[in-house]
Amino acid sequence: MVLGLGGVGSNCVQALARGGVGSFVLVDADAVEASNLNRQAIAYVSTIGKRKVDVTKEMILDINPDAHVVTLDAFLLKDNVDEQLSALPKPDVVVDAIDTISAKLAVVAWCQKNDIYLISSMGGGNKIHPELLEITTLSKTHTDALARVMRKESKKRGLADFRVLYSPEPARPVFAPEGATGKSAKLGTMSYYPPIMGQMIASDVILHLSGLIMSNLTYFDAHVHANLMDSPLDVARSSSEVGLGLFTCGVTPHDYLELAPQLTQDNIRVGLGAHPWYISDGRVTEKNIELLLELMEQTPYIGEIGLDFSSRYCVDGLQELQVKAFTKICERAAEFSRNSQPRVLSMHTVRSVDAVLDILEQTGAAQECVPIIHWFSGSSDELQRAIKLGCWFSVGEMSLKTKRGREYAKVYPKDKLLTETDLPSSDHTDIDAADIVDSLKRALLGLSEARGYSVQSEVMANAAGVFGV
């Protein structure tokens, strides 16, 4: 749903249509005018005087004749937003490209009430540097006059933070033509600026719809254990406030059954696991493994699983017990991945990297799934083999405390690098979201120092691609 078909909205629609979006709801109450020619995708001499919703619909259908387009030729006012928008097909995304502050605020409230993804355009007038534009949340904006008013009024109304496109560039004075009056004497627009804004918003929408964007997240923990925390629900509730996403790995299938119904936030993924320690000491039985195999149809996120061949687990057939369970899990994961969404596997590989890689290859899980080695501690030869096999690596601050860990950090593939904490530690289970963020910051710093550049953006892009949050 695109609200407002001016310079930002019309160019956004064009990019969305060309990008494969096939269903639109368009809202605007204006006709194309001669003054629109410098910036609007629908403004041509031949379209002057025509209704914007009609011209935009024609443009979409000329790009994609199979597109479905619903139009509303009406002004959105603070008092009619709820009624007007609720009468239209419910969208997956709303693009707010309207100018009136009271209506913008009403749109925010409607989207939040109906749990709809929103991105709102802030001010673009009297600005000339599109390279300063950025997509962020309203609370992080500054300098922009429209955003300042929106922050103040959103706080008054108790609205939650939301996604915006804005620029911190100060507005410039307008050199108006002689005789210019009213709006044209005070507000100027460069021809390239609104189209770039529209294109940037379209990129956000397309990435969101395709699961390649992590809205409002700054950090992602790809291996944490909420089931071992004193207050997992409190950590989950506060995680989004600090920009944190989580993949919480279970150690038994029952952890998933307990936590999945409770941790339903968009920034959290709950893993279905069978930890090798628990298999070895009998806390995860063959019956539990069968339960896990059944539950794998419900979720693509599997972890913690794997093998541990350290001395404690190398007696009385414990290796064979682990191998049998891990092989079954990988076989099922590969099967489901071939027929539906690829399964994400977070794997324990202590003194067992080659054995884990053998099973991944033999079962097809290496090719069909997303295999993530948590806290890699093998040899350099094993690392090269894992890289060639296409494995991912989740890295935490503890693994970076050793010289070998820092050397490994230099060679992990940039497109398969994630951050983790493996928290909580056994002697400190009373942790909160801030503790997780602090650990991730240290991991990011260590990785950045090892690799010689800031890794945060690529790590977050990787996490978005894998976990779809």
Instruction: Give residue 339's pLDDT.
Output: 80
Report d(CA 459, CA 279) in Å as an integer.
32
pLDDT for the residue 175: 66
List per-block mean pLDDT (blocks of 10 residues) for the chain, which spans 469 residues: 98 98 97 96 98 98 98 96 96 96 96 92 93 88 93 91 92 71 69 97 92 74 97 93 94 97 92 97 96 95 97 84 97 92 95 98 97 97 97 97 96 96 94 96 96 89 85
The whole-number pLDDT of residue 457 equals: 82
How far, in Å, CA of 294 to CA of 413, rounded? 33
Q: What residues contact 449, with CB distance under 8 A and at least 6 apart?
A: none
CA pair distance 71, 67, nearest whole angstrom: 13
Predicted pLDDT at 368: 95
Residue 328 DSSP SS3: helix
Q: What pLDDT is attached to residue 180?
A: 59
Percent of the chain surpassing pLDDT 70: 96
Please list the alpha-helical segments (H only) found in 310-431.
318-339, 353-363, 365-368, 380-389, 403-409
CB count in 10 Å sphere of residue 192: 12
If one counts every other C-beta atom within 10 angstroms of the C-beta of residue 38, the result is: 14
DSSP 3-state of 447: helix
Greatest alpha-carbon pair distance for the chain in Å reads 94
Find, among 374, 379, 431, the residue nearest to 251 by Cα. 374
What integer pLDDT is reported at residue 410 of this predicted model? 97
Q: What is residue 461's predicted lDDT score, i.e. its pLDDT? A: 83
12 neighbors 2 (Cβ within 8 angstroms): yes
Beta bridge partners of 31: 51
Q: Could you tell me the two tokens for 63?
A: 């790009």
SS3 91: coil
